[in-house]
């Protein structure tokens, strides 16, 4: 081996060592937890169908405003964001009870995006970085399909998920390169409401 090639390899090894020291190694993301049962929470932009039994004139479909509230006949500015459909139905019943005897209300979310705090955010070297509404049993692979995968400049195996666990923010490592480019399904993990997927840029 020539002296030039030896120097070149030494330089590459030093660069890799230096760059490797700049990165924090996060514990791997936990596998699917079967006991996890998410409840859908209403958010701004959701289309909500409100049915008042035997009172069709009070039944309608409304969109939750950016301030998280909605207005229906006889009920103005009722907070909807962050509540389940059942919780919202009980609140509307309470408000309508001033005008209707024993109202029975059903709330159906037609087009849901959920509150911002429940959405999954993908930032960095995704093909289409964006915020996504959480869906039950959503996996990392589902998220990557929705954002179009990663760019050619992504360091996929250094990606991480920022997650709130027990009121604390924790960060877990994920292997996007193995999942997307090698088809390694062991790298697929469960997503949770409010997760932030961070995809860093590769230096090579």
Residue 17 lies in a domain: no
pLDDT given at position 3: 58
User: Please, which pLDDT band fits residue 204 given cuts at 50, 70 and 90?
Assistant: low
User: Please, which pLDDT band fits residue 26 given cuts at 50, 70 and 90?
Assistant: confident
Of 66, 95, 111, the position where a domain reaches its end is 111
Interval 47-57: pLDDT, tens? 999 999 999 99
pLDDT given at position 190: 94
CATH number at residue 67: 3.30.1950.10
Is there a single domain that holds both residue 53 and residue 86?
yes
Residue 74 falls in which region: left (phi positive, over 0), alpha (psi -120 to 50) or beta: left
* Torsion sign (Cα): 64, 197, 202, 152: negative
Average pLDDT over residues 40-45: 92
User: Please, which pLDDT band fits residue 25 given cuts at 50, 70 and 90?
Assistant: confident
Is there a single domain that holds both residue 138 and residue 200?
yes
Token pair 């709330």: residue: 107
Which has the minimum average pLDDT: 25-29, 85-89, 98-102?
25-29
Which has the minimum average pLDDT: 13-27, 70-84, 150-164?
13-27
Residue 78 lies in domain: 47-111
Is there a single domain that holds both residue 131 and residue 201?
yes
Is there a single domain that holds both residue 127 and residue 197?
yes
Average pLDDT over residues 42-47: 93
Average pLDDT over residues 11-23: 45
Residue 132 lies in a domain: yes
Token pair 């993990």: residue: 189
pTM, to two decimals: 0.74
Checking if the pLDDT of 134 tops 70, the result is yes
Average model confidence (pLDDT) across the chain: 87
Give how many domains the chain has, as a whole number. 2
Residue 98 lies in a domain: yes
pLDDT given at position 107: 97
Dihedral angle, C-alpha 81, 86, 91, 96, nearest 10 °: 120
Is there a single domain that holds both residue 203 and residue 123?
yes
Rounded Cα distance between 79 and 67, Å, is 9
Kind of pairing, strands 196-199 and 120-124?
Answer: parallel
CATH number at residue 159: 3.10.560.10
pLDDT given at position 6: 58
pLDDT given at position 38: 77
Is there a single domain that holds both residue 170 and residue 89?
no
């Amino acid at each position: 081996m020539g002296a030039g090639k030896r120097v070149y390899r030494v330089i590459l090894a030093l660069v890799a060592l230096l760059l490797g020291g700049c990165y924090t190694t996060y514990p791997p993301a936990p596998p699917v937890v079967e006991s996890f049962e998410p409840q859908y929470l209403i958010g701004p932009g959701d289309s909500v169908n409100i049915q008042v039994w035997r009172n069709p004139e009070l039944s309608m479909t409304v969109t939750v405003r950016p301030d998280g509230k909605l207005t229906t006949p006889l009920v103005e500015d009722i907070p909807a964001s962050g509540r389940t459909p059942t919780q919202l139905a009980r609140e509307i019943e309470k408000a309508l009870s001033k005008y209707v005897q024993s109202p029975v209300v059903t709330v159906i979310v037609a087009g849901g995006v959920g509150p911002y705090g429940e959405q999954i955010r993908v930032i960095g070297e995704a093909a289409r970085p964006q915020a996504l509404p959480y869906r039950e049993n959503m996996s990392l692979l589902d998220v990557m399909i929705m954002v179009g995968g990663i760019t050619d400049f992504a360091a996929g195996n250094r990606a991480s998920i920022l997650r709130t666990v027990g009121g604390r923010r924790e960060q877990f490592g994920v292997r996007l390169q193995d999942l997307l480019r090698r088809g390694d399904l062991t790298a697929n993990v469960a997503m949770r409401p409010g997760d932030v997927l961070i995809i860093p840029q590769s230096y090579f």
